[in-house]
């Protein structure tokens, strides 16, 4: 991706944008003080890809997704880092009208539990027109036409849906309405937070097919947050695995799932019967994921549950190390041969540094 300086949002490119997240830290205010829900997260999202963000509940997936829109709300705050999006610059420096215009027109977002996020008092059509007005869309008819065509593209009766209130639509229909609202202003970076949770298997498969097709047809960059590795396996090109607010492994989905390197990724995959094939081989991960209050302040966040824990894991937080286009943050994962040049796991990996050590 190319990093651009900030430009007025009306001038941005319409191509699929790339994203560079660099050293992102987000904290939430708690009775114990401000505690980090994300700590030093760095990743590159290549233009035109579908990237999955997976991890157990509380690992920071939604917080990362919201950060990409600079939409973390109190008691949370972005305490450090940057989020460079092609054509927009660092969204963490945007505010007010610029940020509002960027959301919707450039960044489409489908919230977690989007099925329940429609206004129950207004028809979908009315909410669509409100959205258009708030983004300065003058041609309401064209907006409705686009919305209907998107809804029909997703197998729905567009006119009927626009005339409906939330309670008149099924969960799967409401989820499709959420996707339509995220796309209708022509955003090219689309973030879907748990788009298939709480849907039956058939509806889930339909939504995933729609996500894939719309992604290709519209030339999008898509991020999909899910706690379901099976869903990520089906639809994503790349996978980012999160644990305790850290990005522990990242790489092409096939490689990460086919040969996971981080003990947490290995544990997640072993816990899924339908991926491992033999249901008797599935083994649940022991223990529970940490909460903000139980996250260790030093050492590896995964160590309480890790079968490969070593002395160094008690004291040193493992830094992400890049091996080609994969990165892993674990002391037990073999480092490249000394003397062989490796790239940093941070976005700075793209700048030849000649460094032999690689840390984020």
- Identify which of residues 62 and 360 has a Cβ nearer to ligand ATP in the complex: 62
Give the tokens for residue 115: 């099925």
- Identify which of residues 217 and 311 has a Cβ nearer to ligand SF4 in the complex: 311
- Identify which of residues 57 and 216 has a Cβ nearer to ligand ATP in the complex: 57
Residue 140 touches which member of Mg ion, ligand ATP, ligand SF4, none, C-beta under 5-8 Å by kind: none
Quote the CA–CA distance of 116 and 82 in Å, as a whole number: 31
Q: What share of the chain is helix, strand, coil (3-state, %, to 5)?
A: 35, 20, 45
Residue 105 touches which member of ligand ATP, Mg ion, ligand SF4, none, C-beta under 5-8 Å by kind: none
We find the least distance from the C-beta atom of residue 62 to ligand ATP, in angstroms, to be 3
We find the least distance from the C-beta atom of residue 139 to Mg ion, in angstroms, to be 35
What is the spatial order of strands in the sheet that 221-225 belongs to? Answer: 107-110, 189-193, 221-225, 50-54, 238-243, 246-252, 326-328, 321-323
Q: What DSSP letter does each residue of 95-160 carry, written as one string?
A: -HHHHHHHHHHTEEEE-TTGGG-S-TTS-HHHHHHHHHHHTT---HHHHHHHHHHHHHHTTS-HHH
Give the tokens for residue 74: 């109190």
- Identify which of residues 86 and 249 has a Cβ nearer to ligand SF4 in the complex: 249
- Identify which of residues 184 and 224 has a Cβ nearer to Mg ion in the complex: 224
DSSP 8-state symbol, 354: -
We find the least distance from the C-beta atom of residue 227 to ligand SF4, in angstroms, to be 19
DSSP 8-state symbol, 12: -
* Count of Cβ atoms closer than 10 Å to residue 6 Cβ: 14
Which of these ranges, 53-61, 91-99, 215-223, 342-350, lies near Mg ion under the rule CB under 5 A?
A: 53-61
Residue 63 touches which member of ligand ATP, Mg ion, ligand SF4, none, C-beta under 5-8 Å by kind: ligand ATP
Classify 85 as helix, strand or coil: strand
Residue 251 touches which member of ligand ATP, ligand SF4, Mg ion, none, C-beta under 5-8 Å by kind: none
Residue 227 touches which member of ligand ATP, Mg ion, ligand SF4, none, C-beta under 5-8 Å by kind: ligand ATP
Footprint of ligand SF4 (CB under 6 A): 263, 300, 302-303, 306, 308-310, 313, 318, 330-332
Residue pair 219/184 in contact by the 8 Å Cβ criterion: no
Footprint of ligand ATP (CB under 6 A): 28, 30, 37, 55, 57-63, 75-76, 112, 227, 291-292
- Identify which of residues 87 and 178 has a Cβ nearer to Mg ion in the complex: 178
Q: Does 62 bind Mg ion (CB under 5 A)?
A: yes
Residue 267 touches which member of ligand ATP, Mg ion, ligand SF4, none, C-beta under 5-8 Å by kind: none
Q: What are phi and psi of 36, to 5 degrees?
A: -80, 125
Which helix (DSSP H) or strand (DSSP E) does residue 341 occupy? none
- Identify which of residues 104 and 299 has a Cβ nearer to ligand SF4 in the complex: 299
Give the tokens for residue 206: 């339909």
Give the tokens for residue 35: 């505690």
Within 232-360, strands assigned E span: 238-243, 246-252, 321-323, 326-328
We find the least distance from the C-beta atom of residue 311 to ligand SF4, in angstroms, to be 9
Residue 332 touches which member of Mg ion, ligand SF4, ligand ATP, none, C-beta under 5-8 Å by kind: ligand SF4
- Identify which of residues 156 and 242 has a Cβ nearer to ligand ATP in the complex: 242
Using CB under 5 A as the criterion, which residues of the chain lie in contact with Mg ion when the complex forms? Answer: 61-62, 112
């Amino acid at each position: 991706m190319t990093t651009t300086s900030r430009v007025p949002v009306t001038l941005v490119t319409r191509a699929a944008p790339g994203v560079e997240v660099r050293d992102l830290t987000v904290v939430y205010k708690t009775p114990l003080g401000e505690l980090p829900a994300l700590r030093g997260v760095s990743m590159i999202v290549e233009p035109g890809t579908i990237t999955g963000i997976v991890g157990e509940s509380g690992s920071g997936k939604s917080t990362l997704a919201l950060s990409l829109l600079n939409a973390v709300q109190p008691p949370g705050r972005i305490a450090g880092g940057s989020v460079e999006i092609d054509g927009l610059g660092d969204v963490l420096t945007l505010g007010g009208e610029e940020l509002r215009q960027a959301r919707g027109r450039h960044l489409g977002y489908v919230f977690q539990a989007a099925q329940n996020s429609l206004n129950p008092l207004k028809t979908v059509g009315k909410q669509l027109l409100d959205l258009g007005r708030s983004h300065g869309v003058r041609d309401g008819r064209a907006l409705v036409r686009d919305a209907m065509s998107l809804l029909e593209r997703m197998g729905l009766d567009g006119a009927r849906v626009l005339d409906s209130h939330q309670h008149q639509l099924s969960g799967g229909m409401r989820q499709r309405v959420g996707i339509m609202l995220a796309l209708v202003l022509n955003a090219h970076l689309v973030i879907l937070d748990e788009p298939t949770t709480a849907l039956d298997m058939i509806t889930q498969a339909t939504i995933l097919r729609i996500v894939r097709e719309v992604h290709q047809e519209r030339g999008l960059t898509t991020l999909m947050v899910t706690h379901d590795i099976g869903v990520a396996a089906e639809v994503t090109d790349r996978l980012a695995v999160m644990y305790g607010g850290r990005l522990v492994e990242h790489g092409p989905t096939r490689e990460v799932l086919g040969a996971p390197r981080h003990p947490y990724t290995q544990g997640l995959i072993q816990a899924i019967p339908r991926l491992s094939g033999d249901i008797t081989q599935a083994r649940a991960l022991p223990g529970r994921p940490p909460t903000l209050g139980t996250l260790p302040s030093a050492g590896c966040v995964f160590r309480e549950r890790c079968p490969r824990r070593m002395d160094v894991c008690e004291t040193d937080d493992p830094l992400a190390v890049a091996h080609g286009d994969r990165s892993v943050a674990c002391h037990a994962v073999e480092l490249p041969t000394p003397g062989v040049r490796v790239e940093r796991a941070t976005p700075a990996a793209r700048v030849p540094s000649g460094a032999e050590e690689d840390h984020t």
